[in-house]
Amino acid sequence: MNRRVLATFLAGFLFSVGLGVAGMTQPAKVVGFLDVTGNWDPSLAFVMMGAIAVHFIAYRVVPRMGSPLLAERFGIPTRRDVDLRLVSGAVLFGAGWGLGGFCPGPALVSVTGGARSAIIFVGAMMGGMLLFQLVDSLRAARHQRSASRLAADT
Amino acid sequence: MLEIPVENFTPITASIGGALIGLSASMMLLLNGRIAGISGIIGGGLKLPAGDLAWRLAFVLGLLAGGGALVAFYPETFAVNIDRSTGALVVAGLLVGFGTRLGNGCTSGHGVCGLSRLSPRSLVATITFMSAGAAMAAVVTHAFGGSI
């Protein structure tokens, strides 16, 4: 098997076990963390701190290597601007996270546990992603049309 | 006064799990050169033509295989102990799917990878989705008695 594919599989496996050990797969824990007005459970802040503590170090070292070990080049996001899409996307995502208690990774992992709620959630999440793609491509097509109309007018 | 329910507070397993997530994201960066943002990995795979389909699929299969290992050795981590109707789950899933694509990331891509590289976009996104999540969770607790 391709070493890059195998390495990515192992990274996914490790990520999944991390989510499970951390308790991210338990919607009650997620909601208990998000709802600061109830019986607040700060555990999930420790998940984020643990992950960042490790990954922050990797970012100080790895990108200086020039290229990753099993791929040709790095594909790290470089945008630094904050726009309306970013903020409105985060608002929608956060609302769904607080409503269902699942974010994308833990939801996928929970499907293996067979919970009906995780299966319904993941199905709808895929639907939401496809819906975004549809809306986004329609929007791009409209932009293109109005741009070419503008060019024809002038 | 703020009371933390001691029986639910699990800082040690949370930190260990978090460190494993950080290790996985670091593996992705070192070996594959990509960030471990789940919504981006799935969403990018749903696009036609899909870029780098092989590794995206491999990551998702790894997530599912890890889920299988958890089922075998730590099944209690799949306890779904909140009360949500099918309708609420569908709305939540749609919001998460649409929102993560519109905002270019979720808890992993912005919250872990983005904050680790001190990205201002990810900081704004993380503060925003945490606040929106807190607001929604509070509404469900207080206006719907915790079950919706």
How crowded is residue A65: how many other Cβ atoms within 10 Å of its Cβ? 12
Residue with tokens 């899933």: B93
Q: What is the mean pLDDT of the segment spanning B40-59?
A: 85
How many pairs of residues across A and B have Cβ atoms under 8 Å apart?
Answer: 508
Rounded Cα gap, residues A136 and A131, in angstroms: 8
Total count of domains within chain A: 1
User: Which of B20, B53, B55 has the alpha carbon at shortest distance from B34?
Assistant: B55
Instruction: Look at residues A21, A119, A68, A33 and name the one whose alpha carbon lies nearest to residue B111.
Output: A33
Q: Which domain holds residue A47?
A: 3-153
Looking at beta carbons, which residues of chain A come within 8 Å of B134? 34-36, 94, 98
Rounded Cα distance, A46 and B49, in Å? 38
Cα separation, B120 vs B114, whole angstroms: 8
- pLDDT over 90 (residue A80): no
Is the pLDDT assigned to residue B1 strictly greater than 50? no
Structural contact between residues B73 and A19, judged by C-beta atoms closer than 8 angstroms: no
Q: With contacts defined as CB-CB under 8 Å, which chain A residues touch B29?
A: 55, 58-59, 62-63, 68, 74, 76
Average pLDDT (A56-75) is: 91
Q: What is the DSSP string of A12-71?
A: HHHHHHHHHHHTTT-HHHHHHHH-TTSS--THHHHHHHHHHHHHHHHHHHGGGGSS-SSS
pLDDT mean over A11-34: 95
Q: Average pLDDT in the A74-92 region?
A: 93
Report the alpha-carbon distance of residue B119 to residue A31 in Å, rounded: 26
Residue B49 has pLDDT above 80, yes or no: no
Identity of the residue in A26, A73, A79 whose CB atom sits nearest the CB atom of B33: A73
Token pair of B143 as six digits = 């206006």
Tell whether B92 lies on the interface with A, counting CB pairs under 8 A: yes
Burial of A82 (0-12, 13-18, 19+ CB in 10 A): middle
* Dihedral pair phi/psi, residue B83, rounded to 5°: -100, 105
pLDDT at res. B83: 87
Q: What is the pLDDT of residues B5-29, one digit of tens each?
A: 445 788 999 999 999 999 999 999 9
- Domain ranges, residue B116: 6-143
Nearest to B80 among A52, A81, A117 (CB): A117
What are A62's two structure tokens? 């790895």
pLDDT at residue B143, as a whole number? 82
What pLDDT sits at residue B81? 77
Cβ–Cβ gap B24/A42 under 8 Å: no
Asked if the Cβ–Cβ distance from B64 to A89 is below 8 Å, we say: no
CB contact under 8 A, B114 and A77: yes
Which member of A2, A38, A50 has the closest CB to residue B141? A38
Question: Is pLDDT of B2 > 60?
Answer: no
Structural domain contains residue B1: no
pLDDT of residue B92: 97
* Chain A, window 12-51: residues with a beta carbon less than 8 angstroms from a chain B beta carbon: 12-29, 31-32, 34-51
Q: Tell me the chain A residues in contact with residue B38 when contact means C-beta distances shorter than 8 Å.
A: 15, 103-105, 108
Distance CA A114, CA B104 (A): 28
| Model pLDDT, residue B145 | 79
| Interface check B123 vs A, CB under 8 A | no
The total domain count for chain B is 1
* Overall average pLDDT of the A115-134 stretch: 95
Buried b (16+ CB within 10 A) or exposed e, B16-50: bbbbbbbbbbbbbbbbbbbbbbbbbbbbbbeeeee
**Residue-averaged pLDDT of chain A:** 92
Q: Does A134 touch chain B (CB under 8 A)?
A: no
Structure tokens at B72: 């075998």
ipTM, two decimals: 0.92
Q: Is A12 within 8 Å of B13 when comparing Cβ atoms? A: no
pTM exceeds 0.80 for this model = yes
Query: pLDDT tens digits for B95-137?
Result: 999 999 999 999 999 999 999 999 999 999 999 999 999 999 9
- Residue B51 confidence (pLDDT): 66
